[in-house]
Amino acid sequence: MNSHQIPNEHHIKQQSLIRKLLMDRSQPGRIGAHIPQSDVPKQQQLPNKYLRKELPLPEVSESEIVRYFSQLSQFNFSIDHNFYPLGSCTMKYNPKINDEIASLPGLSEIHPLQPEESIQGALKIIFELQNLLAEITGFDSTSLAPMAGAEAELAGMLITRSFHKNNGDTHKTKILITDSAHGTNPASAVMAGFDVISIPSDKNGNTDIEALKAAINDDLAGLMLTQPSTLGLFDTNIIEICKRVKDAGGILYGDGANLNALLGRIKPGELGFDILHSNLHKTFTQPHGGGGPGAGAIMVSKKLTPYLPSPIVQYSKDEDFYSIYTPKKSIGRMGGFHGNFGALVRAYSYIKTLGKEGIDQISKNAVINANYIKSNLEEYFELPIKRICMHEVVFSASNFKKHNGIKALDISKRLIDYGIHPPTMYFPLIIDEALMIEPTETESKETLDYFISSMIKIASEAKQDPELLRNAPHNTPNSRLDEALAARKPNLRWQKKD
Amino acid sequence: MDTKNYISRYTPNTSQQKNEMLKDIKGVNSLNDLFADLPSNLVNPQLNLPGPLSELELKNELTYISKLNHTPGEFSSFLGAGSYRHFIPSIVRQITSRSEFMTSYTPYQPEISQGTLQAHYEFQSMICQLTNMEIANSGMYDGATSMAEAALMAVRITKKKRIAVLNTVSPFYIEVLKTFLEAPEIEIDIIHNSNSLSPDTACIILQQPSFLGNLEDIEQFSNLAKKNASLLVVSVDPISLGMIKPPGDYEADIVVGEGQALGIAPTFGGPYVGIFATKEKFIRQMPGRIVGQTVDTNGNPGYVLTMQTREQHIRRDKATSNICTSVGLIALGATVYLAALGKSGLAQISNLCYEKAHYAANLIDSIPGYQVIDNGLFFREFVVKCPISPKKINTLLIENKIIGGLDVSDQIENGMLLCFTEMNSKKEIDHLVDNLKNIQAK
Amino acid sequence: MSKTQEMYYSDEHEWVLMETDNIALIGITKFASDNLGDIVFVELPDSGTTVNQFEQFGEIESVKAVSELYSPISGTIKEINDSVVQNPEILSESPFEKGWLLKVELKDTSELDNLMNLEAYESFLESGKN
C-alpha cells in the first residue's frame, strides 16, 4: 500500500485503525465462534461463591479477527520474507513439509498420557530421533525432554551436579564459562546451584589457556564451552581445554547453539565433550515462531547416561515395543509431559529428508557463505579477529563510532531499509559495537551479493549522510521506539480508558 | 533416491557458484582449508545415517508411523489430567501458520516485529482479564515449569527457603518442582490441609481445580498464607475460568497454569504455553519475556520487549531465570482462540465441560461396581473407583475405540481419572457408560 | 552551578559532597550516567540502614544494562532521594545536583582521604583506566 496516494490524515486514520487493540474493537453482541448447545440434560449449578461475576474478554467477529491478525502479521519480518542473518540464531529456511507432518492428526491430536500400546508411532519417532542425534553428534545417548536450549543447559548442569554428588565430590561447586558465552550459560549454571567464574578469550578468540590454568583447582565442577564460539571461530585450544578440565575431574559441557557449523565435519562427542545440547529450533529447523516454541536435545557420554532427564524412550526388539522409562539416577522431569513433541517431529522429518548426504552438506555451505561475506566486507568493516571463520562472522562498528558516532545499532536499522534483517548487535559482549552475521546454508550467492552490496552502500552512507542512518528505519510501521519510556512507566496490558 | 550426485533442495548454491565463492575467500584454496582449524584426525567422521528421502517418500513413511497411534477423534477420549482436547476454531491454525508469525525470531528489532509484539501484548492483556491479575508475562514453556518458576520467584521475594505444596497438585508438576528446587536447596513440604505451616514457607502452591478435578476451598489457604507472610501461588485450568472465580478475586500472589487448553492441540504433550501472572509490585522478580507499550520518535504508539534487565542476556548469572523463550507462536494461538471465543464463548465452553462431566458422573456412579469418589465439588474431571484395575479397563475400552481415563490407582484404589469436554458428545458418553457396564458384567 | 569542585570522587564514579561536618550527599558522576544511557530504574536501600565504603548499596538500570552502586564512604543513611526513584530520568539530566542518591551521616570522615578530588578524577578518566 502506498501511503502517499491518500491524504496524510487518512493515512494516520488507517494506521490507528490497524493498531486498535481487540478490547477497543469490542462491541457487545459480536460473536467470534459459535458454540454448540449442550446435548445433555441440565445439571445442578455450582454454588455462587465458586463462580466468577464477570469475564471481561473482547467481543469481536471472526472476520475482524482474521483481518486484524493478518494486518499485524504484515508488520513482522520473517525468514520466508527475506534474508535474516541474525548471528548465533541460525535463521535458516524452515521446510514446509515439516509443518505438514507435524499437523498429521496421528501426531498432533494424541494425548501425552495415552497407554503405551496406543502411542507406538510417537514413541518410535522419539526413539529414532534420540539415536539420530546421538549418531550425528557422537554421543552415547540423548534425552529430548528439555523444551528449549536454555532448559537443556539447565538439565546439563543438573546432570553435572548429580554426577559429582553421586561420586561424593560435593566440593565441586565451580563452573567456568568463557566470556563470549550466551547469557543463558551463567544463568543456567546458577540455577543448578553453581558458582560461575568467567574465563577470558585470548587475542585469537580462543579460550585463554593461562587464565584457564589459573582458574582450575579441585573445586572445578565443569566448563561450559560454545564450539564454535559466538565469535564464529573454532576454539583451537579444544584438545588442551578438554585435557585440563578432565584432569581436574571436571565435566566438559558443549553449548551446541552453533552446531550448524560442525554437522558432518566433526562429532563433538569425539572432540571430548561429555555433554552437548542442541537447539532443535536452530540447527534442525523448528520455526522460531516469534520467540518459541523451541526444543532442546541433550546428548551425553556413557558415564552420564544414567543421569539423563526423564522420559527416555527405549525399544525392545523381542517384543517389537517402544516404552517410556526414567534412567536410574535421572535428574527428573523438565516439564509436565515428554518435551516439545511437535518440534521433535519437525527435527525428525528434517533429518530424514536430508539423510546422510544432506546433513553432510549443511556445514560446508554454511561455512562457505559466512567466509564469502567476511572476505567481501572486511575492507569496509573492521574485523577484530582475522581468522577463517566458521558459520558466522563478527565485525565491529567501532571505527564508525569513533569517526562520527555511528553505532552498530544505526547500521543495523539502516539495513532494514534495504529489506534485510539486522545482524545480532552488541553480542558477543567482548567485541565493541559487534555486528554478528550468520548467513546459514540456505541462502544463495545472489542473496549474499545483494547483502554485501547493501552493507558497502551503508558503510559509505555512514560517512556521507550519517543522519540517514540515525533516523533509520524509514519505511516501517513504527520509527525507533522509546524503550526507556517503556521501562520507566510499564504499560503491560490493555486497560479501560477513564 | 540418487545419493551419488545428491543436492539438497534447501541449499541453493551450485558447485560452480561454490567454486566462485571459494576463489573470493582470501587464504583458502579448497573447501577443506575452511575447516583447517578442526583437529585433522577427527574431521569428516563416518555418519551412520539413512539416506535422504524425497518429500513423497517422507510423507508416506511418516503418515504410516502416525497411524501406529490411536488418535483421539477416531477414538473417543476421556483423558485430561493437564492436557485437554477442545474444539479449535479453524482461524487459530490459519493465523498461527502464517509464515510472518511462524518464521520470525524473538522480537529484538521492534520496528520490524510489531506483529509479534502487539499480539503478545494482547496475550498479556487477556491473561490478566482471565485471571484478574495485574500483570502477566508473554508465556513460559508450560504449566509445570511456570509453577517451578513461581516457587523460585516466591523464594526471591520472601527470602524464605521452603515451599508448601498441597497434595492435590498434579504429581507431574510436583516432580518438576523437585527437579528445579533441589539444586537451590529449597525444601518442599507436601501438605494435606491448612492446619500448620512452617514459618519459613515462601509460598503455598495450590491447583484449582485440583489434579483429581475438585474445587478447592481456597479461602482457608489464602488466610493461612497471609497469616504466615507466605505468598499464595495458584495453578489454574484456564478453561475453568470461563465460569469459576478468578485467582485475583481471592488475592493470589502468583497465578500459573497450562495454556494448552486455549486452542492448542494436545500434540503428545507439547509445545504448550505456561501462563504466568502476578501483582504489579512483583514485576522485577517476574521471569520471562514482557512486552510493553511505548511511543516511537514520531509519537505513534508501538510495542517493545521491556524490563529486559531481569533477563539472562543482560544480567547473566544474576538473572531472574535462564528462560529465553516465550513460546510465542503457541501464545499467539491462545490469543486468537480467546479472541474468537470471547466473553460469551469461553463461558459456554466452560459450562459444556461442566454439564457433560456431571451428566457422566451421575450415570457412571449408578453402574454397579463403580463409584464416583466424592471429594466435594468438581469441574470437568472426577475419579471413579472401578471394580477392576483401570489398566485392564483401558485395554478393553481401546478395543471398542475408546481411550479411557488416567489410571490413578497409585492415589486411589482402582481409581480412574475421567475428563469431559465439549468434544465428548452425549452419544460418546453413553457409549462409554455402556462399555463400563459390560466390563462390570464380565 | 554544580559543586563539582568541592566533591570527592571514587574510581567507581560515585561522588561525595559534604553538606555539614559529618553529613554528606552521595551520587554518581556525569561520566557514569552518560555511559549508562537512559536510566530507567534506581534501587536504593532504606533510610536508617548503613553503607560501607566501597561496598555495594544499590543498583541502577538502563534499558539494556545493570550497574551496581558502590558507596564511596561509610555511614548511616539519613535520607534517600525519592524523586530519583520515582523519576530515574533525573539521574540522566542532573547527576551532580537533582540526581543525588543518598544523604549519609559519615562514620569516619578520614575515609575521604581514600577518594580523589576533581582534578585527580579528571585525570583518572583521561588515563582510560576506568
Whether the predicted pLDDT of A405 surpasses 80: yes
Residue type (1 letter), A58: P
Closest-CA residue to A93 (of A78, A79, A77)? A79
- B320: confidence class by pLDDT, cuts 50, 70, 90: confident
pLDDT, one tens digit per residue, over A164-180 is 999 999 999 999 999 99
Write out the three cell numbers for A4. Answer: 502517499
On the question of pLDDT at B239 being above 60, the answer is: yes
Q: Which three cell numbers mark A351?
A: 533429518
B262 three-class SS: coil
Mean pLDDT of chain B: 95
CB < 8 Å from A in window 374-403 of B: 377, 391, 394-395, 398, 403
Neighboring chain B residues of A264 at a CB cutoff of 8 Å: 44, 47
- Please report, to the nearest 10 degrees, the dihedral formed by the alpha carbons of residues B365, B369, B374, B375 taken in order: -130
pLDDT, residue B360, reads 98
Beta-carbon contacts below 8 Å between B and C: 15
In this prediction, residue C1 carries a pLDDT of: 47
pLDDT attached to residue B442: 59
Residue A404 CB contacts under 8 Å (≥ 6 apart), including other chains? A462, A463, A466
- CATH number, span B76-87+343-441: 3.90.1150.10
pLDDT at C35: 86
Chain A residue with minimum CA distance to B108? A424
Asked if B314 has any chain A CB less than 8 Å from its own CB, the reply is yes
Output the CA angle A163-A164-A165, nearest 5 degrees.
95
SS3 content of chain B, % helix, strand, coil (to 5): 40, 15, 40
Classify burial at A423, counting beta carbons within 10 Å of its beta carbon; exposed 0-12, middle 13-18, buried 19 or more. buried
Half-sphere exposure of B363 (CA within 13 A, CB side): 22
User: What is the secondary structure of A360-409 as a DSSP string?
Assistant: HHHHHHHHHHHHHHHHHHTTTSB-SS-S--SS-EEEE-HHHHHHH---HH
Architecture of domain B91-335: 3-Layer(aba) Sandwich (3.40)
Residue A427 sits at φ, ψ, to 5 deg, of -145, 140
Determine the 3-state secondary structure of A269 from DSSP: helix
CA A307 to CA A160: how far, in whole Å? Answer: 9
Residue B217, judged by CB atoms within 10 A of its CB (0-12, 13-18, 19+), counts as middle
CA distance, residue A438 to nearest chain C CA (Å): 23
Bridge partners, B335 (sequence order)? none
User: What pLDDT was estimated at residue B212?
Assistant: 96
Q: Predicted confidence band at A1 (pLDDT cuts at 50, 70, 90)?
A: very low
Closest alpha carbon to B105 in A359, A381, C79, A77: A77
Element (H, E) at C41: strand C39-43
Catalogue all structural domains in chain C, each as residue range(s) with its CATH number.
4-108 (2.40.50.100)
Q: What is the mean pLDDT of residues B352-363?
A: 98
Residue with cell 520470525: B104
pLDDT tens-digit map of A31-57: 999 999 999 999 999 999 999 999 999
Mean pLDDT (chain A, rounded): 96
- Summarize pLDDT for B49-88 with one digit per residue, the tens: 999 999 999 999 999 999 999 999 999 999 999 999 999 9
- Across the interface, do A191 and B183 touch by the CB < 8 Å criterion? yes
What's the CA gap between A178 and A199, in Å, rounded? 5
In this complex, do A483 and C63 lie within 8 Å of one another by their Cβ atoms?
yes
Residue A6 has pLDDT above 80, yes or no: no
Average pLDDT over residues A472-496: 94
Asked if B243 and B216 count as a contact pair (C-beta separation under 8 A), the reply is no
What pLDDT sits at residue B437? 95
Residue A18: phi and psi, rounded to 5, are -65, -40
Question: What CATH code is assigned to A97-354?
Answer: 3.40.640.10
Q: Which H or E run includes A213? A: helix A209-215
Q: Evaluate if residue B365 carries a pLDDT over 70.
A: yes
In whole angstroms, give the CA distance from residue B333 to residue A441.
Answer: 30
User: Is B305 within 8 Å of B108 (Cβ atoms)?
Assistant: yes
Q: Which helix (H) or strand (E) holds B171?
A: helix B171-182
Stretch A247-269: mean pLDDT: 97
Predicted local distance difference test score (pLDDT) of residue C2: 62
Residues from chain B that touch A183, judged by Cβ atoms under 8 A, are 311-316, 319
Cα separation, B181 vs B161, whole angstroms: 10
C-alpha of B266 from chain center: 9
Interface check for C68 against chain B (CB to CB < 8 A): the answer is no
- What pLDDT, on a 0 to 100 scale, did the predictor assign at position A105? 97
What whole-number distance in Å separates Cα of residue A200 and Cα of residue A246? 20
Chain B residues whose beta carbon lies within 8 Å of the beta carbon of residue A32: 89, 339-342, 345
What 8-state DSSP symbol labels residue B292? E
Distance CA B301, CA A483 (A): 12
- CA separation, residue A174 to residues B89, B110, B181 (Å): 51, 38, 19
DSSP bridge pairs for A434 = A396
Tell me which DSSP letter residue B322 carries.
Answer: -
**Distance between CA B384 and CA B365 in Å, rounded?**
8
* 405-444 in chain A: CB under 8 A from chain C: 426
Per-residue pLDDT reduced to its tens digit, C53-109: 999 999 999 887 888 999 999 999 999 999 999 999 999 899 999 999 999 999 999
Q: Do A487 and C63 touch (CB under 8 A)?
A: yes
Poorest-confidence range of A220-229, A345-354, B66-75, B192-201? Answer: B192-201
Superfamily assignment of A362-484 in CATH?
Aspartate Aminotransferase, domain 1 (3.90.1150.10)
Q: Is A481 on the interface with C (CB under 8 A)?
A: no
Provide mean pLDDT across the span A236-255. 97
Crossing angle of helices A341-377 and B55-66, in 10° steps, is 150
Q: Quick one: average pLDDT of B150-165? A: 97
Q: Which pLDDT score is estimated for B311?
A: 85
Contact B326 A492 (CB under 8 A): no
To the nearest whole angstrom, how far is the Cα of A133 from the nearest Cα of chain C? 36
Does A89 have pLDDT greater than 80? yes
pLDDT given at position B44: 96
Asked if A215 and A245 touch (Cβ cutoff 8 Å), the reply is no
Enumerate helices (H) and strands (E) in chain A, giving the number of each.
17, 12
* Helix, strand, coil shares, percent, chain C, to 5: 30, 35, 40
Per DSSP, helices labelled H in A52-193 are 62-73, 96-102, 105-108, 120-137, 149-166, 184-191
- Parse chain B into domains and list their residue ranges: 76-87+343-441, 91-335
| B425 secondary structure, DSSP code | -
Mean pLDDT of B233-237: 98
Q: Give the H or E element holding residue C112.
A: none
Distance CA A418, CA A414 (A): 7
DSSP state of B74: T
Look at residue C130 in the predicted model and tell me its pLDDT.
Answer: 60
At C79, give phi and psi (nearest 5°): -160, 145
CB contacts of C62 in chain A (<8 Å) are 484
